Structure 1
Amino acid sequence: MPLETRTARLLLRRWRESDLAPFAAMGEDPEVMRYFPSRLTRTQSDELAGRADRLFETHGYGLWALEKQSTGDFIGFTGLAPVPAFIPGPGGLEVGWRLARSFWGQGYATEAARAALDVAFGRLDLEQVQAITAVINEPSRAVMERLGMTATAEFQHPKIPVGSPLRVHIRYAVSRAAAAQACAAADLTR
């Protein structure tokens, strides 16, 4: 399993100490964390980065730190992780991402997630990858749909309080063939 991979504009790599401060700033940004139950403290942010990076040792895949190749800026993360056991449904692997606000709207999330799906379907030889988000998270749902993912089920997130607008989540899934078709269609529109 590669410890890093590249796209046209991004380097997906293991985490570095220098990523922790900008990642913590993301976790404190109310807009970045809008679709999460709460913002992150610096300790929580550092722990999340550590868990994201350790996935590579325990599973051979993980959540890469994202670096913009042209500037070397840390812009967020993307990658693959096991669907948490407390999430209702079939389990498996999910693709996920989170970007600093200044990098939104430039196609980085879709570009990085496509690279993660390439690893999932090519190197890990998976047949399907999932993604989950709050139903109201329209920006992430749009990325999922650009990736060729389709909505498969809504569920009540067991760790989000009843009555919270974030409680209702949606699961998306994409097959190897659907991901390839979505990627080819995107290449035709460029």
Structure 2
Amino acid sequence: MTEIRTPRLLLRRWHDDDLAPMADIDADPRVMRWIDGGSVRDLEHTAKAIERWEEEWDEEGFGLFAVELLASGELAGCAGLSVPEFGPQALPDVAISWRLGPQFWGQGYASEAAHATLEFALQDRGLDRVISISQVGDAASENIMRKLGMALDCEMTHPVYGRPLRIHAIDLTEYQA
């Protein structure tokens, strides 16, 4: 079972009791504002998403981790790797992403989880390149991408939601742990 420990976080595979707290995160409009079309998600949609993430772990050897606070055991959200489901500009790359509940914002948890995930992608999984996709205007996510050493690679429009996106990228020759 793949786990990553950081000074404050445990990135791990999903447990059954993670569904309710992750569904609460997905139901918050502040969280979902910059994701897909910006709509909140219900418990059933979150359950299907976690199921897909777990399947990706089994098929690809990576996926989205549950992000747990070591100090309290609370589920803060998710972070990890996935194959983008849209846009030829994003393929065949693997994307790093994160989503935390608003009570965990502004404390460096997303940056910590993203940094650990990037190391996992490049060192443990041997990926040559990793991207991250943000919607134009999502300054908080773009700030994390800059902290990771990612640079703007291209821009595109989301094929389903019509929202403008920016793809940032980093390759192994640019990465400094």
TM-score range, shorter chain: over 0.9
Maintained 8 Å contact 1:3/1:56? no
Shift of 1:179: 2.8
Assess, with a 3 A threshold, how the Cα gap between structure 1 residues 157 and 115 changes in structure 2: closer, same or farther: same
State the Cα deviation string for residues 114-156 of structure 1 (Å, max 9, x = none).
1111111111112210010101111111111111001111101
Shift of 1:50: 1.3
Query: What secondary structure sits across from 1:178 in the alignment?
Result: coil
The residue number in structure 2 matching 1:179 is 175
The residue number in structure 2 matching 1:186 is none
Unpaired segments ≥5 residues, structure 2 = none
The residue number in structure 2 matching 1:97 is 98
The residue number in structure 1 matching 2:112 is 111
Does residue 156 of structure 2 align to residue 155 of structure 1?
yes
TM-score, length basis structure 2: 0.94
The residue number in structure 1 matching 2:88 is 88
Maintained 8 Å contact 2:80/2:98? yes
The residue number in structure 1 matching 2:54 is 53
Counterpart of 1:142 in structure 2: which amino acid? Answer: N
Query: What secondary structure sits across from 1:136 in the alignment?
Result: coil
Q: Distance in 2 between matches of 1:179 and 1:73?
A: 31
Shift of 1:175: 1.6
TM-score, length basis structure 1: 0.88
Shift of 1:90: 4.7
Unpaired segments ≥5 residues, structure 1 = 162-166, 184-190
How many residues matched?
174
The residue number in structure 2 matching 1:188 is none
